Amino acid sequence: MRLTAKVVVPVTALVLAAGAGTAYHLSGGPKTGTGSASGTQQVAVPGRVAQAYVGSSNDPATWRLPVEAYIPTAEQARLVTTTRDQLIDTCMSTAGYDDWEPAPELPELGGKTLTDWRYGIHDARLTAERGYHPAEAEQKAYDEAMEAGAVDESGADDATLRGCVAKADGKVPDPQPPAVVQEISGAAFEKSQKTPEVTAVFAKWSSCMKDKGYDSYKQPLDASDDPRFANPDKVTAQEIATARADISCRDRYGVARTWFDAESKIQRAEIAKHMDEFDDVAAATREAITKAKAA
């Protein structure tokens, strides 16, 4: 295994806004339609603000925020990444570095979509086994990959690699979400927590937790961020009990959906203010995917 300065399309592991200390991923291909919070999934239409999408009302992992209509899905991002890796690999081989290889992807850990775990835990079965921790097999695979590491044994110099990357850029652009997308996503995540509807549901959740014997948590992410549960190698009975109480209170008051709806509303308002920029982002995404398919 060799580690190189791999140029990735960091959309499949994009942290547009973090919660619960987990990596978030984008996934799911868009369906044609105008979309709504309970209808057909939205795709980017020039001049029109994308709406939110809810797949299964009981599974936040199937929900999509408005900003996701403008950037690649996980499948599209993998297509672009793989194509760019192949172009760079061929270029490096031509330059005399046959042993050069793209750095391997780390195994997935935690949330699999942008909204999976964005608002906290939601899988009762996993919670009963792992509390606030990812699945044991995922954690093990991730830890093993990190421990194994990777070393570039090709002897390639940075200048050659940069040249090959530039050539790949010319054939298949890197559709990394620009600052405006990341800024709006991050700001909306923070701002949504201060909206009346979200602060109200947080208060209900906190009161519910107090009734169950947990009186130190004011907001849902306070529980998952508890330092006592931070050890990736240890899941305690106390953590599982806390997490089970947490998810029970979340479900009782619809914390995730209330939060998601509030954040979606904020995102749509901000996207409208930057419509030209988001149209450009969507166009760049389409261009990168088209070129990747043709390469």
The pLDDT mean for the chain works out to 85
Average pLDDT over residues 159-177: 90
Read off the pLDDT of each residue in 262-283 and give the average, rounded to a whole number: 96
Residue 19 confidence (pLDDT) above 60: no
pLDDT of residue 42: 67
Binning pLDDT at 50, 70 and 90, where does residue 154 land? Answer: confident
Is the pLDDT confidence value at 4 over 60? no
The pTM assigned to this predicted structure is 0.82
Domain positions in the chain are 53-294
Quote the CA–CA distance of 96 and 92 in Å, as a whole number. Answer: 6
- Quick one: pLDDT at residue 41? 52
Give the range among 10-14, 22-26, 108-112, 124-128 with minimum mean pLDDT.
Answer: 22-26
Of 32-36, 122-126, 174-178, 247-251, where does mean pLDDT reach its minimum?
A: 32-36
Residue range 142-149: mean pLDDT, rounded: 85
**Quick one: three-class SS letters along the chain?**
CCCCCCCCCCCCCCCCCCCCCCCCCCCCCCCCCCCCCCCCCCCCECCECCCCEECCCCCHHHEECHHHHHCCCHHHHHHHHHHHHHHHHHHHHHCCCCCCCCCCCCCCCCCCCCCCCCCCCCCHHHHHHHCCCCCHHHHHHHHHHHHHCCCCCCCCCHHHHHHHHHHHHHHCCCCCCCHHHHHHHHHHHHHHCCCHHHHHHHHHHHHHHHHCCCCCCCCHHHHHCCHHHCCCCCCCHHHHHHHHHHHHHHHHHCHHHHHHHHHHHHHHHHHHHCHHHHHHHHHHHHHHHHHHHHC
What pLDDT does residue 15 have?
Answer: 38
Residues of the chain with pLDDT > 90, as a percent, come to: 69
- pLDDT confidence of 62, banded at 50, 70, 90? very high
Residue 167 has a pLDDT of 95
pLDDT beyond 50 at 271 = yes
The answer to whether 139 touches 76, Cβ cutoff 8 Å, is no
pLDDT band at 105 (very low <50, low <70, confident <90, very high): confident
Of residues 153 and 262, which shows the higher confidence score? 262
Q: Are 221 and 274 in contact (CB under 8 A)?
A: no
Which band of pLDDT confidence, cut at 50, 70 and 90, is reported for residue 13?
very low
pLDDT of 24 reads 26
Q: What's the pLDDT score for residue 186?
A: 96
Backbone φ and ψ of 43, nearest 5°: -120, 160
What are the phi and psi torsion angles at 106 (to 5°)?
A: -75, 150
pLDDT tier at 101, thresholds 50, 70, 90: confident
The answer to whether 94 and 292 are in contact (CB under 8 A) is no
Per-residue confidence (pLDDT) for residue 152, from 0 to 100: 74
pLDDT score recorded for residue 43: 75
In this predicted structure, the answer to whether residue 276 has a pLDDT above a threshold of 70 is yes
Burial 161-174 (b: 16+ CB within 10 A, else e): beebbeebeeebbb
Q: Rounded mean pLDDT of 78-105?
A: 91
Q: What is the pLDDT of residues 180-203, one digit of tens each?
A: 999 999 999 999 999 999 999 999
